[in-house]
Chains A and B, each alone.
Chain A
Amino acid sequence: DAGITQSPRHKVTETGTPVTLRCHQTENHRYMYWYRQDPGHGLRLIHYSYGVKDTDKGEVSDGYSVSRSKTEDFLLTLESATSSQTSVYFCAISESMWSAGGTDTQYFGPGTRLTVL
């Protein structure tokens, strides 16, 4: 299994509060991703990173920001949490974006269940 951890694993918070989720990898992979999983939607990409301090938006980025100051850590921040952000959040990593023996395959962390009341 790829060395990916997420913290916290569960969090309950109130509307309007800031929340930060952390993804940590020990694989030294360049690319990291944040997805959210909601019933009836599968997984959807929030933000991704292609290197330290290099990030870009995914398809559902509104209300989220990210930071990557070290290769191994990718943080997802909900600036002012809303009930619509109640979800399960997954971090993923990949060695590259281009296929080279499957190195573009994305491997997922264990997920964080976030509840916004």
Chain B
Amino acid sequence: AQTVTQSQPEMSVQEAETVTLSCTYDTSESDYYLFWYKQPPSRQMILVIRQEAYKQQNATENRFSVNFQKAAKSFSLKISDSQLGDAAMYFCAYRRNSGGSNYKLTFGKGTLLTVNP
């Protein structure tokens, strides 16, 4: 079974600084997708970024970028120029893409990010 591990229950960063959130996963599949979702205090789950495993290039979305290391099964999220609005719980998620029940998102337990002014 696939598992997703976020080893940092909490992180903090100063406004305008850069922070990296860690995620590792375990799978025997070669075709899959990885996601970072953000959950602010409003509880809404917001997609931050998505990475296809077959793509070597790391995904970027404005101030958010990932470091995808397929061999190491690592998928970290870097937030540059942190803003107060980035404060939230961040979830890493995995989804296979090869036959069978490939619908399921497997989530990590989350990392709570605090942004200090």
A interface residues, Cβ below 8 angstroms from B: 31, 33, 35, 40-45, 48, 50, 58-59, 88, 90, 92, 97-99, 102, 104-108, 110-111, 113
> In chain B, what residue has the closest Cβ to A43?
B107
**Contact yes or no, A42 B44, CB < 8 A:** no
Question: Which of chain B's residues have a CB closer than 8 A to the CB of A59?
Answer: 104
Alpha-carbon separation in the docked complex, A99 to B103 (Å): 11
Q: A58-B104, A97-B103, A99-B33 known; A42 and B45 CB under 8 Å?
A: no
The reply to whether B44 and A110 contact each other, CB–CB distance below 8 Å, is: yes
Residues of A within 8 A of B44 (CB): 108, 110-111
Per the 8 Å Cβ criterion, residues 70-117 of B in contact with A are 91, 95, 97, 102-105, 107-110
CA distance A61 to B49 in the complex (A): 29
- Closest chain-B Cβ to A78's Cβ sits at a distance in Å of 20
Contacts of B103 in A (CB 8 A): 31, 33, 48, 50, 97
Can you report 11 A-B residue pairs in the complex whose CB atoms are below 8 A from each other?
Answer: A42-B107, A42-B109, A43-B45, A43-B105, A58-B104, A92-B105, A97-B103, A99-B97, A104-B95, A105-B50, A110-B42
